[in-house]
Amino acid sequence: MIEIDRTKCAYCGACVGVCPAMALRLRDIYVEVYNDKCTSCGACVRACPMNAIELKK
Amino acid sequence: MVVGAGPAGSSAAKHAAEGGASVLLVDRKKEFGVPVRCGEGVGSHWLKELGISISDRSVCARIKGAKLVSPDLKSSVTISTPETMGYVLDRKVFDRELAIDAARAGAETALKTEVVGVTKNNGKVTGAILEYDGKKTEVKSKILIAADGGESLVARMAGINTLATLYDSDFGVEYEMANVECEGLIEIYFGKSWAPRGYAWVFPKGEDVANVGVGIGGMEKPNAIHYLNKFLELDRFKKAQPVALKAGIIPVGAPCRQLVADGLMVVGTSAHQVDPIHGGGICLAIDAGNIAGKVAAKCVGEGKSDAKALSEYEKTWRSAREKKLLRRLLLRKVLEELNDDDYNAAIGCLNDADVGKLLDGNYAPVAGKVLTARPQLLRALKALLTSSETGRTL
Ligand SMILES: Cc1cc2nc3c(=O)[nH]c(=O)nc-3n(C[C@H](O)[C@H](O)[C@H](O)COP(=O)(O)OP(=O)(O)OC[C@H]3O[C@@H](n4cnc5c(N)ncnc54)[C@H](O)[C@@H]3O)c2cc1C
């Protein structure tokens, strides 16, 4: 599971591009997370230029 | 149908429409070109090689060269070769103009329209599910062109692997800033402390405005914004004030292995068609879009949309561009291995003509100079000189 801090997010879609599970989707001004698909691999956490994503237990 | 009204999608839409196909160009944005996720620089060499012209209106600043700065900030070399001359664009204007061209050629355009799924029949892509105004509608297509940029979900929904790995991606963030004194040069800062496996940049946008950013390799920690904040602590940016924030992913590995499937083409950054040296993808996106659009129109005219017919795009593109990109990828891999001392020594001893040669793949004449200054660079030079992809000199 991940959580995106919307106050930090720049809606750039970098996390979407690296998510192997296709668990993220860029909408107009936010990123939608499908945590049921998330495998907690952490790629998005590393990718996020804004440091806006955290892995959650 | 074309998904994504960036440089790749609008160019594909334009050429497909000009070739007689009926084209729908969709983008989730409510304003094509906005928000910008780009440093907005384009090099003259790509413009010339790809035959791309740009309007005066979309140019913010003309760039007369590049200044490469060593990690310790003590030395720099300014180079004015076709590789480093060019323009900094206003992508908002630039992308809008490309979309206008597509519409003038006859393409229909749809704003605020997102592709949320792809429909298939017997393995062939037959259309897309569009979400507009809170409603989902299925729209049929003879050919679906995925030009959805770094997110690149559309091709993946159709079964082509365009996933960007951390290893083969850069992650960038930049501020457009006022009160930055510039000399009409782009500035590139190398070094682990500024931007590990990438670089920090200043791209002038006219007068005292500039895009100031960093791009780092995807395996690096912490995140890009950390490095940007650190870069902005330099005295040079004391008065700088941000007026816009732009970020994004840049797939800098090799282009994707598969660019077409039955009923589907992938173009631009979604197909990882990006220059691995500087991460520039605007010109390559336009070029790929042009080729794909023409082939799409031809195929629609002939009533074909199978992968074999569409592969004319893939073949044409690969034979024209891929070799050069792979050669530049090799140079990138070598540059990535260099440490700060290597950069300090190299930038300290090279002049503008030397760097031009390196970028052209002409490594041998520069080797002696570099090795005298820093014998440790032998391994890197060997890697370049012994590779089969070293280009024209060997
Ligand atoms: C920080 C940064 C700096 C950069 N600096 C430079 C530079 O200086 N010079 C350079 O040449 N390149 C630069 N690039 C790269 C450049 O931005 C891209 O290569 C270029 O925009 C690629 O064009 P494209 O048409 O392939 O994709 P994009 O321009 O990304 O366009 C894709 C479009 O598809 C839309 N879209 C995506 N998914 C969907 C969907 N499901 N449904 C509907 N619409 C969708 C998006 O809204 C977008 O408009 C930079 C990139 C970044 C991140």
Residues B114 and B246 occupy one common structural domain: no
Instruction: Look at residue B387 in the predicted model and tell me its pLDDT.
Output: 66
What proportion of chain B, given as a percentage, has pLDDT over 70?
98
B208, B230, B251: which is the final residue of a domain?
Answer: B251
Quote the CA–CA distance of B119 and B210 in Å, as a whole number. Answer: 43
B67 belongs to a structural domain: no
Residues B237 and B294 occupy one common structural domain: no
Residues of chain A with pLDDT under 70: none
Q: Does residue B390 register a pLDDT over 60?
A: no
Residues B241 and B310 occupy one common structural domain: no
B276, B291, B321: which is the final residue of a domain?
Answer: B321
How near does any CA of chain B get to the CA of A18, in Å? 5
**For residues B90-116, average pLDDT:** 97
Q: Give B304-344 pLDDT, tens digit per residue.
A: 999 999 999 999 999 999 999 998 898 898 888 899 999 99
Look up the domain containing B191 and give its range. 169-251
Residues B32 and B175 occupy one common structural domain: no
B251, B271, B291: which is the final residue of a domain?
Answer: B251
Query: What fold does the segment set A2-55 form as a domain?
Result: Alpha-Beta Plaits (3.30.70)
CATH number at residue B312: 3.50.50.60
Q: Does residue B394 register a pLDDT over 80?
A: no
CA B54 – ligand 1 centroid, Å: 17
**For residues B164-168, average pLDDT:** 95
Q: Does residue B392 register a pLDDT over 70?
A: no
Per-residue pLDDT band at B358 (split at 50, 70, 90): confident
Structure tokens at A52: 């806006």
Residues B317 and B348 occupy one common structural domain: no
Q: Are strands B144-146 and B264-266 parallel, antiparallel or unpaired?
A: parallel
Q: Give B296-305 pLDDT, tens digit per residue.
A: 999 999 999 9
Whether residue A13 and residue B37 make contact (CB cut-off 8 A), yes or no, is: yes
Per-residue pLDDT band at B92 (split at 50, 70, 90): very high
Q: Does residue B170 register a pLDDT over 50?
A: yes
What proportion of chain B, given as a percentage, has pLDDT over 90?
82
Q: Give B140-159 pLDDT, tens digit per residue.
A: 999 999 999 999 999 999 99
Q: Does residue B350 register a pLDDT over 60?
A: yes
Structure tokens at A32: 């939608």
Q: Does residue B102 register a pLDDT over 80?
A: yes
Residues B157 and B213 occupy one common structural domain: no
Whether residue A28 and residue B29 make contact (CB cut-off 8 A), yes or no, is: yes
Residue B191's region, left for phi above 0, alpha for psi from -120 to 50, else beta, is left
Quote the CA–CA distance of A48 and B282 in Å, as a whole number. Answer: 22
Mean of pLDDT over chain B: 93
> Whole-model pTM?
0.96
Q: Does residue B47 register a pLDDT over 80?
A: yes
**For residues B184-202, average pLDDT:** 96
CATH number at residue B173: 3.30.9.10
How many domains, in total, are found in chain B? Answer: 3
Burial class (CB in 10 A: 0-12, 13-18, 19+), B348: middle
Residues B234 and B288 occupy one common structural domain: no
Interface contact B163, partner A, CB < 8 A = yes
**For residues B236-241, average pLDDT:** 97
Mutate to test the pocket of ligand 1, among B30, B269, B278, B284 (most ligand atoms within 8 A of CB): B269
Residues B174 and B158 occupy one common structural domain: no
Q: Does residue B265 register a pLDDT over 80?
A: yes
Instruction: Look at residue B359 in the predicted model and tell me its pLDDT.
Output: 78
Residues B153 and B35 occupy one common structural domain: yes
Instruction: Look at residue B320 in the predicted model and tell me its pLDDT.
Output: 95
Residues B297 and B342 occupy one common structural domain: no
Residues B290 and B152 occupy one common structural domain: yes
Interface contact B171, partner A, CB < 8 A = yes
| Interface A:B, Cβ pairs < 8 A | 85
- Judging contacts by C-beta atoms under 8 Å, the chain B residues touching residue A10 are 173, 245-247
Instruction: Look at residue B388 in the predicted model and tell me its pLDDT.
Output: 54
Q: Where are the domains of chain A?
A: 2-55
Q: Measure Cα distances from B64 to A47, B42, B360 in Å.
A: 33, 12, 18
Instruction: Look at residue B352 in the predicted model and tell me its pLDDT.
Output: 86
Please give the torsion angle defined by the CA atoms of residues B248, B254, B260 and B265, in that order, rounded to the nearest 10 degrees: 30
